[in-house]
Amino acid sequence: MPYTVAVAGASGYAGGEALRMLAAHPEFEVRRATAHSSVGERIIDVHPHLRSLDGMRFTETSTEKLAGHDVVVLAMPHGTSGAVAAQLPDDVIVVDLGADHRLTDEGDWNRYYGGDYHGAWSYGLPELPHADGSRQRDALVGARRIAVPGCNVTAVSLGLAPGILAGVIEPRDLTAALAVGPSGAGRALKTNLLASEILGSAAPYAVGGVHRHIPEILQNVRLAGGAEPTISFTPVLVPMSRGILATVTARLVPGTDPAAVRAAWEGFYADEPFVHVLPEGSFPTTASALGANTALISLALDADAGRVVVVVALDNLVKGTAGAALQSLNIALGLPETLGLPVDGVAP
């Protein structure tokens, strides 16, 4: 028997991607999709690409509608999923695509988000290293509550973590500049996300250390063994519907053998099915990761600056959100980690 699933907040981009991936998974059956303003509408009228869900309609989001399923995926705005999750029974596996359960430090939550703090859940980035040599997937085995990382956080963390763990880069004075698609901001109507505002333009936002993903990135760097990390993080909105291209730099530890730098990343990700380190001199594009649960990584040494440059490309709605949720669910339920997850992207 397949595991039954309900997706709350399913009318948005993240919720719609979760529906798409769950519907194609051989061990899950989507039984319910809830929403707010779309209650009563057919799923295919809101998500015309989800033809396999023809006949289903959005229902209201309530504990009664969500309870009784094996798995509940929360694709709700930050600050709203915590209260819903608190009402769900312990026998339901709950996966939060929002930020309400990512941060382990209440002070970070108060500074960057505000509102009620609901505590941290098992973190849904299986490849993330711990300083003791383990990986985050170990903490996901049997998990009943899973917090999916922020999409930008996934890109930056995957780019930095192997170098931190290997001790070849310094955790202070990290930088990250990201080109991101507007789907990461959700589906709500906002003037700065209109096509007429975005097309032909690139616009930075949350500049100067105020982006909400910063404490989560630093949390992951510390987990990998980086003491007192700092990062300058600048995202730029660009005219592509989905995707992240992160350019991350870090100071090399003095005296580091250049050969040890590439070896750190290649060795760490050698057996990871969804993180691929490209050959020297080859750099990824967001198009290469479109629709796939893959992160593509390239490395370069800037000898004059004494820094390593890491470029990471991924699909913010797949590896950055819904794919990470499904990958973590596979681990939690004892299913093959790669089951139902695409490695190949779509082109052109």
CATH of the domain at 60: 3.40.50.720
The pLDDT of residue 197: 83
Give residue 131's pLDDT band: very low, low, confident or very high (50, 70, 90): very high
Q: Is 22 exposed, middle or buried (0-12, 13-18, 19+ CB in 10 A)?
A: buried
The pLDDT of residue 310: 98
303: containing domain: 152-316
Known catalytic membership, residue 51: no
117 and 165 in a common domain: no
310 and 162 in a common domain: yes
User: Does residue 54 lie in a domain region?
Assistant: yes
CATH of the domain at 210: 3.30.360.10
104 and 120 in a common domain: yes
User: Does residue 339 lie in a domain region?
Assistant: no
305 and 222 in a common domain: yes
User: Does residue 130 lie in a domain region?
Assistant: yes
Reported as a single tens digit per residue, the pLDDT across 190-201 is: 777 777 787 889
Catalytic residue (one of 8, 21, 22, 151): 151
- Stretch 164-175: mean pLDDT: 98
- Residue scoring higher pLDDT (36 or 165): 165
166 and 103 in a common domain: no
Q: How far apart are CA 95 and CA 99, in angstroms?
A: 11
User: Does residue 340 lie in a domain region?
Assistant: no
Give residue 291's pLDDT band: very low, low, confident or very high (50, 70, 90): very high
User: Does residue 345 lie in a domain region?
Assistant: no
The pLDDT of residue 196: 76
Give residue 48's pLDDT band: very low, low, confident or very high (50, 70, 90): very high
179 and 118 in a common domain: no
- Stretch 296-314: mean pLDDT: 97
User: Does residue 240 lie in a domain region?
Assistant: yes
Quick one: which of 104, 97, 94, 101 has its CA closest to 118? 101
328 and 294 in a common domain: no
Reported as a single tens digit per residue, the pLDDT across 221-233 is: 999 999 999 999 9
Reported as a single tens digit per residue, the pLDDT across 56-70 is: 999 999 999 999 999
- Stretch 139-161: mean pLDDT: 98
| Structural domain count of the chain | 2
